[in-house]
Amino acid sequence: MNKPTLVILAAGMGSRYGGLKQIDGVGAHNEPIIDFSIYDAYQAGFGKVVLIIKREHEELFRKNLTDRIEKYMEVGFAYQDMNDIPEGIEIPEGREKPWGTTHALLACRGVVNEPFAIINADDFYGKDAYVVMHDYLVNEIQDDQYAMVGYQCIKTLTEHGSVTRGVCQQEDGYLSHIVEIQKIVLRNGRAYYATEGEWKPLPDNTLVSMNFWGFTPKIFEECKPVFDNYLASAIKKNPMKCEHVIPTAVGELVDDNVCTVKMLSSKDQWFGITYQEDKPGVVEKIAKMREEGIYPDNLWE
């Protein structure tokens, strides 16, 4: 069996961050989070990495990331193109925002032909998550039988603003329902979300998706009609900002009994960068892991 592939969602515009945070350095040698993710995946046994990017950013990614990785892993690119939408739908004038992570996932059609994990470029998931997902992709995964690494919501929040999370329910170790909740905030050590004009708490053990999924290429044909149907309707209601995300797509497939999703867990701590103010804390955590020997001084040497 071929080694599984790591797919990375790296085409976002970073509007809240104020720049291309996918390649913003956080390591001692200016490595971005994505560098550590690829390194962890390589050590876990992944054989290839595919970055979903905007075509105009390819040179930046090659210069700042992939040129040093190609000695160790096969590297590929998939391009999220705003024009890759169903016939009969016109892009609204002035629209710059991509169509969301479901659309980005679909950019891998014809590029990824083996079982794969997909992650966010700006999230640090921990070494154990890649080992757990690799083992699932090698030993268990089948068409329509996918997986997700879940994290406790309270451990994925930032003190610097609100976030959106795919809040999960599970039954017998499998995802039973997932709903995208916006405006989740951290207050006095608790997670709250805004609904019906008031703030309500989320239970401390609430699991959320941080976009660490395990799929086979069958997911492309399953998500395509989900995305197409959504866009045909949503573009009329919210032409400038509508977008469709992977947790929503997978939730719809689970609700319709198209697929199952096994809930995996990791012993490691997630952290990430949503706002510029999050960066110093990430730099500090990366430095500490280097001091503890979890990472070498130079990842690829």
> What is residue 95's predicted lDDT score, i.e. its pLDDT?
92
6 phi/psi in degrees, rounded to 5? -100, 120
> What is residue 74's predicted lDDT score, i.e. its pLDDT?
95
Kindly state the DSSP code that residue 156 receives in the 8-state scheme. Answer: G
Domains and CATH numbers, the chain: 5-149+209-244+268-291 (3.90.550.10)
> What is residue 262's predicted lDDT score, i.e. its pLDDT?
98
Query: Is the pTM higher than 0.75?
Result: yes
> What is residue 155's predicted lDDT score, i.e. its pLDDT?
87
> What is residue 2's predicted lDDT score, i.e. its pLDDT?
81
What are the CB-based long-range contacts (under 8 Å, 24+) for 134-141? 134/4, 134/41, 134/44, 134/45, 134/46, 136/214, 136/262, 136/264, 137/4, 137/214, 138/1, 138/4, 138/45, 140/262, 141/115, 141/214, 141/215, 141/216
The token pair at 260 is: 């199952």
Angle (CA) 205-206-212 rounded to 5° is 115
> What is residue 195's predicted lDDT score, i.e. its pLDDT?
86
Residues of the chain with pLDDT under 70: 1, 13-22
> What is residue 16's predicted lDDT score, i.e. its pLDDT?
45
The token pair at 232 is: 């045909």
Tens of pLDDT, residue by residue over 53-99, are: 999 989 988 988 889 999 999 999 999 999 999 988 999 999 988 89
> What is residue 146's predicted lDDT score, i.e. its pLDDT?
98
> What is residue 117's predicted lDDT score, i.e. its pLDDT?
98
What are the CB-based long-range contacts (under 8 Å, 24+) for 290-299? 290/27, 290/28, 294/127, 295/36, 295/39, 297/28, 297/29, 298/29, 299/27, 299/31, 299/35, 299/36, 299/39
Give 139's contacts (C-beta < 8 A, 6+ positions apart).
Answer: none
